[in-house]
Amino acid sequence: MGNPLYDRLFGIHAGKDTPFLHLPDGQTLTHAAFLDQAAQIANALNGFELEPGDRVAVQVEKSPEALALYAACAQTGLIFLPLNTGYTTAELSYFIENSGAALVVCDAAKEKGLAPVAAAQNARLETLNANGTGSLMRRALGMLPAFEPVRRSEDDLAAFLYTSGTTGRSKGAMLTQENLLSNAQTLVQEWRFTQDDVLLHALPIFHTHGLFVATNVVLASGGSMIFLPKLDLDDMLRLMPQATSMMGVPTFYTRLLGDDRFTGDLAQHMRLFISGSAPLLTETHERFQGRTGHRILERYGMTETNMSTSNPYDGERRAGTVGFPLPDVELKVTDPDTGETLPQGEIGMIEVRGPNVFQGYWQMPEKTAAELREDGFFITGDLGRMDQDGYVHIVGRGKDLIISGGYNIYPKEVELVLDDQPGVLESAVIGVPHPDFGETVLGLLVAETGQKPDPEAILANVQNTLARFKHPRKLIMLDELPRNTMGKVQKNVLRDRFKDLFTTG
């Protein structure tokens, strides 16, 4: 039986002195050296008396060691739970408690704040810093660079990713080894990745896009990555001549287009540019092609499904669409009320089924039953249509989820913080179009009678409670919120009213 995830993504590179990670300072880590480091971490994890299936909650900065921790979890049969580095301690406590994490790994700067959280969960706490130091690596460096992978099957869970909905708390999407493997192998074929590819990787690795798409595709193909800690235009422009491909969110492409150093000559040798995690404006498509001659390949996926559709590698990459369903994915558009499949061209709820679709939400059987049908189709919550040529168009979301710069933002969570501010009677949080981030957060406030809330003071308070990417870009005072006859706030009315706030003038 072996360990499919480790064997097919990592183990196949054992002993290879071929490049894997090219670092900004010029250093290169080979596949063999990376696997030696992963094995040392696996031995350290093995010494913590963890059992296969235990959860490892990880909030650390992007580094080769952080990626090696992912490999070590695969090797030891532990469930990898990456967490956004922007989350506050208050936010992290929910994920750690809900997942039942047995081990928490964080940056040393967060150790003091997380110690009581881990202790309350009876979880072990280790540190791993951006420069590769910390208690976890101190333990690992004394270990042997070899570890026999724990036997697992494709049906065993490999990772949890927490995703936001429109009601209730964040949900832990359970992903199996097959979910991750099948998607990586399909994307290698669809996007023509080979061992000669060098991917420019500036995405975070706590997210599906950067970890389970970008990294897994490179591993499955045997290629290498220019591994940048974050989006840094200077580094991206300096190192692009060494790359053959790039994956990014729309923000990457708008930032590149905003820099005169990004020319057609600089991108001429590139094989492929891919965008996802948020809609790419048609204008961005056209400007990018006009400057470089390259047509960005846009695709569509979710935390619960990895990738489900893609524009074609060969053929028309149609702006405003997310392409066709992947070869092993079934996609249908249904009536949101009845679940019946709609005729081609009609707008409805997008549902997908395939080996990429998750197993359900951790300890949330009712949520799982509501969104994952018995026949395996997942109700995405996204509204869309399929045109006469088979291209899938995402036209909106049935949920109020905001996606800004590729990050999911749950409006109710922000509203609860705003409602608690001095002088605020109630609030509504919506996503509105933004030229750089796709969408951004807008907060709409109604004051208590006789009160005059201070928006600047409220924004300052929000910074202490919520991760930066959740902060409203602006707060606007309203006399009242629009409601329907049932008293529900009409967010569609608000979105329409403020849709041009950041895109005109």
What CATH number is attached to the domain comprising 7?
Answer: 3.40.50.12780
For residue 83, the model assigns a pLDDT of 96
Could you tell me if residue 170 is inside a domain? no
Domain count, the chain: 2
Report the SS3 class of residue 217. Answer: helix
Could you tell me if residue 489 is inside a domain? yes
Mean of the pLDDT values across residues 365-394? 94
The helix, strand and coil proportions of the chain, stated in percent and rounded to the nearest 5, come to: 35, 25, 40
Between residues 68 and 337, the one the model is more confident about: 68
Confidence of residue 346 (pLDDT cuts 50, 70, 90): very high
**Nearest of 55, 62, 25, 74 to residue 219 by alpha carbon:** 74
DSSP codes of every residue in 318-354? -TT---EE-TT-EEEEE-TTT-PBPPTT--EEEEEES
Could you tell me if residue 310 is inside a domain? no
Confidence of residue 347 (pLDDT cuts 50, 70, 90): confident
For residue 165, the model assigns a pLDDT of 45
Rounded distance, CA 433 to CA 414, Å?
A: 18
Confidence of residue 484 (pLDDT cuts 50, 70, 90): low
The last residue of a domain, from among 153, 187, 221: 153
Could you tell me if residue 2 is inside a domain? yes
Mean of the pLDDT values across residues 252-280? 93
Q: What is the pLDDT of residues 24-55, one digit of tens each?
A: 999 999 999 999 999 999 999 999 999 999 99
For residue 403, the model assigns a pLDDT of 86
Q: Which helix (H) or strand (E) holds 140?
A: helix 135-140
For residue 169, the model assigns a pLDDT of 75
For residue 193, the model assigns a pLDDT of 98
- Say which CATH number the domain at 426 has: 3.30.300.30
For residue 283, the model assigns a pLDDT of 81
The last residue of a domain, from among 153, 176, 209: 153
Could you tell me if residue 162 is inside a domain? no
CA distances from 379 to 257, 277, 300, 331, 457 (A): 35, 18, 14, 10, 40
Mean of the pLDDT values across residues 270-275? 97
Is pLDDT above 70 for 448? Answer: yes
Mean of the pLDDT values across residues 203-222? 96
Q: What is the pLDDT of residues 56-81, one digit of tens each?
A: 999 999 999 999 999 999 999 999 99
Could you tell me if residue 109 is inside a domain? yes
For residue 194, the model assigns a pLDDT of 98
Mean of the pLDDT values across residues 187-216? 97
Could you tell me if residue 147 is inside a domain? yes
How far the first Cα of the chain sits from its last, in Å, is 61
Between residues 410 and 441, the one the model is more confident about: 441
Confidence of residue 167 (pLDDT cuts 50, 70, 90): very low
For residue 1, the model assigns a pLDDT of 65
For residue 214, the model assigns a pLDDT of 97
Confidence of residue 504 (pLDDT cuts 50, 70, 90): confident
How many angstroms from the chain centroid is the CA of residue 4? 23
For residue 166, the model assigns a pLDDT of 41
What is the DSSP code (8-state) at residue 218? H
The last residue of a domain, from among 108, 133, 153: 153
Is pLDDT above 70 for 505? Answer: no
Q: How many residues does the structure list for the chain?
A: 505
**Nearest of 174, 182, 186, 206 to residue 358 by alpha carbon:** 174
Share of the chain above pLDDT 70, in %: 97
Query: Contact at 8 Å (CB) between 114 and 105?
Result: no
Is pLDDT above 70 for 486? Answer: no
Query: In which domain, by residue range, is 71 found?
Result: 1-153
Could you tell me if residue 43 is inside a domain? yes
Confidence of residue 487 (pLDDT cuts 50, 70, 90): low
